[in-house]
Amino acid sequence: MRKLWLIPGSVITGGLFYMALPPVGQGWLAFVLLIPLLLAALGQGFAYGFIGGMVAVMTAGIISRYGLLLEPSMVDGSPGWNYLGFFLFGLAIALLSGVVGEVKDLNFKKCVCLAAWGVLFEAILLLVLPAHIALPLHQSKVALVLASVGGVWIVSFLVYLFVLSVVMLLQKRETQLAAGAVLALGMAIPLMQVSPLGEEAIRVVAIQTEAKDIETLSALNESAFDVDPDFIVWPELSASSIAAGGDTTVLEQYSKDSGSPPFVTSYQDSAEDMPHNTASVFAGSEKIGAYNKRKPFAGEKNLHTAGTEAVTVSVGEHRARLNICFDSSFPAVMRDGIREDQPDLILLPTLDPPAPYGTIQALHAAYTPFRAAELGLPIVRADITAYSQVVDANGAVVAEAGSGTEEVITAWVGKPRWTLYRVLGDWFLYLCGVLAVGLTVSSIRKKKNPLGVSQAL
């Protein structure tokens, strides 16, 4: 009879998953959304659990297509991006759900082992696009402090561990204890939202627009002159036609003639075979730096050659790290060279694919606070259609544009902070590998498999 709970459990998890993630953003649901799915999958076999996980995330994708609980926004976006985004989440969740399906009886040791495997399943997605169960907590003070120590991985691990522990308590019929844990955490999380640092060291502007002509871009750019910013960020490839073939003469001349503060955007360079997607800062009459995007997204791999090196530029009194869009989804790419270069902030031109209700743009934007908290660096993110952001060095979103709008947002950000993650990198991910493999091997040797499957596992 328990197998009959697969569909309702998966659908409930899918609905909670959609509500937990931005743009709905009920982050506290991260600690409960997997419970219906994992409780239904427990002990029912790998295939049963895996299918349930995929049903759950695709349910979330379908709901996101119709924007439940959201104001009408960008309804003309491509729904295929919604389904692809949630499918990638589904791979990690479905693998974990499948393994839980092989477990007959949970204990705390198994919960730790399974939580570590959950993080490793997320890490496997680095081959395509990492998707973290931690993302709903992108504005939780506790989550961001933890990320500054062990990266987003430690947050995902603790979410998995909490959920699995609740499932364990429910399996042992400790219903009151499980309900109490969920209720206490659900009440505490909304009270622990991150607050801006309140420092005023660097004045920054992000321009959100789909425009690619110099007339529109210059008008938006000049609307920010009165706040005297240190940097202005235009969206990714907004200069693709202005600087055709990598010729940036028009941008350099505009920078000189207008007296513009330093601004950054990206364009296609003149590399043979396939051009790079290149970001540069334009200040005075100079083009400063040339960073080639290191993580081309999806079909972009057929259009642009991936870069290989980190780039930090000195502009006036400040040092700025250049990254582009999809780079921000990969912790190691963003961290590369940070300790040696010592930048003051990260400038991040972005071009997210338009999706219904800005769902994909919101999901991508949720990575930015984690990257800022991990590195202790402010990030200025300018997208073409939705959720352009200014994020301070502890991960707080201090300014954010809407969905489907053309906007110019302005904010102050403070100085960089020291973080352990900046020094040690993905140490907690490696620890999860040791925990997952070590606990599994140890149990096999003792003929007590923690996953409840054959010793051949």
pLDDT at position 374 is: 98
CB neighbour list of residue 21: distance below 8 Å, 6 or more residues apart: 60, 135, 136, 362, 363, 366
CA distance 368 to 397: 9
pLDDT at position 448 is: 54
pLDDT at position 67 is: 87
Domain boundaries, the chain: 2-194+426-445, 202-422
CB neighbour list of residue 87: distance below 8 Å, 6 or more residues apart: 54, 57, 58, 61
CA distance 235 to 384: 6
CA distance 138 to 322: 22
pLDDT at position 192 is: 80
pLDDT at position 457 is: 40
* pTM across the whole model: 0.93
What's 301's DSSP letter?
G
Q: Which residues of the chain have pLDDT under 70?
A: 1-3, 74-75, 191, 447-457
CATH 3.60.110.10 fits domain 202-422: yes
